[in-house]
Structure 1
């Protein structure tokens, strides 16, 4: 009898491979990043963990055996969602893996802009000793977290260590620990004028596409900083550039962009009030461990028992 097959399109430590083998000792386990490793197995795989360019032609073939796809990323907006849904493929994401590293990046950007670290780094390169009109501090300010999921909750928790007032936005509007006031997306205009920092942690969906444009930036304080670690498509980038140029907002910390890599022609590169990171806010030494141990293995155990994997089960209608 032919063995059931799982393909993992990532490079894993041997310890993680052994953990998986204990759960599925009778399965064929294929592990590797390179297409040459997984391409001949993708069509026969019942489970695939990690989405790669080129997978679609194999796993969505009419003869493909795929039943469950576990992504290695939190966002699923780059996947062929309609095709996956049409084939009734269970989809789970790596949401939650990033709470620690991304919340750290958020605070690095907030503190960097507040305490002018980016300015001082530039001055260091030119050996310039200049005060740079340093005057701001972050303690006891107000932060608005747009999207209070796992990342937003951790960010709110850290904000409390700075004595900050935390405002949040989530679809349900239900209260969350560490968040002082919760709003729904249609109340964004009520939240923005109150914030010294606006932090976007949303996924990219039809509902969040180009959510932040000129109107939203005009509702923010002129002294406010805008942080986006969600997805670039949530922001109308030209409107953001204009808001930064005209002083509608004070500055921005950006990890994601409408087009990536960010074009060398983008004015954002040269702006003194902008800090850019190359979509690395979720990077961490513990990434694979958290995906394997906290998501993939528990979901795999459920799957083997005939249940639908429940951790980070994606709702195709909502897009996350």
Structure 2
């Protein structure tokens, strides 16, 4: 049986050629995730991306599947337990999103400090008005929960704006770009210092519902919350309460517990909230960056039998 790679995402001719060049001796099949080529998947040693309804086929005993390259950084929607049981290596798209998402984060932040979100609403109604509360990012403190590629890029840009940066992660070892570091167990202490709190966390057993009422009650009064990680890390009702009671001055939200956000959801009517439809990571550079990760991993896979970049730790779930 010929060794094969199956990709469930659209790629350009140049990207396909890059994969073929990096994987001599492998056949390459490209198909649509909505209508996957089941025959090709059944024979695949490597699969790029995932799709609904293919778990039973790919994860049954005896299949040649050895490696899955996820199309996203978050892997919470994949059958992690079954992948681990089969001994299949899983790599994610960490690093692909750092540039677009960090830019979205600063888009939110700049809109809030310059009241641009209010100006846009006033423009729709032809109202010339300012409440003269405009400020700037200079001198503000940003707390970044999650110090991976996105968090690191955000911290780097924040320093260029003259901001103080605080990181939150599992260990409190210092990292470049961060003025201070807190462990996740000290999240409440960290958010109490932030003018802006940025949530870049993946959804895992440890992070689900992490931002709850007790954490929001610890936020600095009049601060802002931005979530571009996963909606399930935040207790939405607690977030709404913090917005309504004034603990939070505003929120920039790209991800939600329920997506799409229901039309009757109260967040839609909150003028201090900026909502984007889970698009922070989208960019026309996405495929190129992911193919770059895959082809680099293919070198180590061919040389040593396993990829080395962005390998998911099944215990941590990222």
**Normalised-by-shorter TM-score class:** over 0.9
Give 3-state SS (helix, strand or coil) of 2:238's partner: helix
Match of 1:317 in 2: 315
Give 3-state SS (helix, strand or coil) of 1:36's partner: coil
Q: CA deviation at 1:121?
A: 1.0
Q: Map of 1:54-133 to 2, 5 A cutoff?
A: 54-133=53-132
Alpha-carbon distance in 1 for matches of 2:242, 2:34: 43
Q: Map of 1:17-28 to 2, 5 A cutoff?
A: 17-28=16-27
For structure 2, which runs of at least 5 residues remain unmatched after alignment?
Answer: none
Q: TM-score, normalised by structure 2?
A: 0.97
Q: In angstroms, what is the RMSD of aligned CA positions?
A: 1.2
Alpha-carbon distance in 2 for matches of 1:193, 1:37: 48
Give 3-state SS (helix, strand or coil) of 1:250's partner: strand
Q: Deviations over 1:61-104 (max 9, x none)?
A: 22422110010100001111011111111011001111100000
Q: Map of 1:203-282 to 2, 5 A cutoff?
A: 203-282=202-281
Alpha-carbon distance in 2 for matches of 1:247, 1:204: 27
Hey, which bits of structure 1, 4+ residues long, moved more than 3 A? 34-37
Q: 1:34 to 1:189 in 2, by over 3 A?
A: closer
Alpha-carbon distance in 2 for matches of 1:125, 1:35: 39
Q: CA deviation at 1:37?
A: 4.6
Asked whether the equivalents of residues 105 and 226 of structure 2 are also in contact (C-alpha less than 8 Å), the reply is yes
For structure 1, which runs of at least 5 residues remain unmatched after alignment?
Answer: none
Q: TM-score, normalised by structure 1?
A: 0.97
Q: 1:213 to 1:37 in 2, by over 3 A?
A: closer
Asked whether the equivalents of residues 143 and 190 of structure 2 are also in contact (C-alpha less than 8 Å), the reply is yes
Q: Which sits farther off after the overlay, 113-122 or 87-96?
A: 113-122
- How many residue pairs get aligned? The number is 318
Asked whether the equivalents of residues 113 and 275 of structure 1 are also in contact (C-alpha less than 8 Å), the reply is no
